[in-house]
Amino acid sequence: MILYADTSAVVKALLLERGSSDVERWFRAADEVAASVITYAEACAALGRSTRMLGPDDATLAASLAALDEQWNEFFVLPVPERESGQVALRHGLRGMDAVQLATAMDLRALARAHAPLGPIPVGMCVRGVRGPSGAVTRRLPRSPATWEPGRGRIRDVSTGASVRADLSG
């Protein structure tokens, strides 16, 4: 399976916080981990913010950034689908970066379906949740990798196969 990871998943793989062990397990189980090109800058910002909140510690930040660089070199990095991101933001009332993450994951899924010679390649999403314009989480995704089913408005849990209605309209 190709696992699409948003910034929160990448950061959880680097810092010890709630959900880190789940993310590490999903990363190990994936054949490939993919991320949007924006994820690197967002992860750097999150690591810097975490370091500032815990007190200035240049050594810890340097170690975290080195781990991010090492991890990033292993990722399949995807470009930003600008127009699709805008359409997703408008259609679902999402904030900009959440729309970019979701549109990028949807593009990856379409690419995997179109170019798989022996049938579709499963694409899982490892994301924190989708935020509406107010910043409130409008839908938390399952605690295991999930696939977004565009056009159906459903999120499918990869490990259990359960499907839930995703109300992303805010």
Q: Which residues contact 64 (CB under 8 A, 6 or more apart)?
A: 14, 15, 47, 50, 51
What is the number of structural domains in the chain? 1
Report if residue 148 sits inside a domain: no
Question: Tens place of pLDDT for every residue, the chain, 170 residues?
Answer: 788 899 988 998 998 888 888 888 888 888 889 999 999 999 999 999 988 888 777 888 999 999 999 999 999 999 999 999 999 899 888 889 989 998 998 888 888 777 766 665 667 666 554 444 444 433 444 344 444 444 444 444 444 444 444 433 33
Q: What is the CATH number of the domain that holds 47?
A: 3.40.50.1010
3-class DSSP state for residue 170?
A: coil
Separation between Cα atoms, residue 16 and residue 166, nearest integer Å: 29
Q: What is the pTM of this model?
A: 0.73
- Its domain, for residue 76, covers 2-126
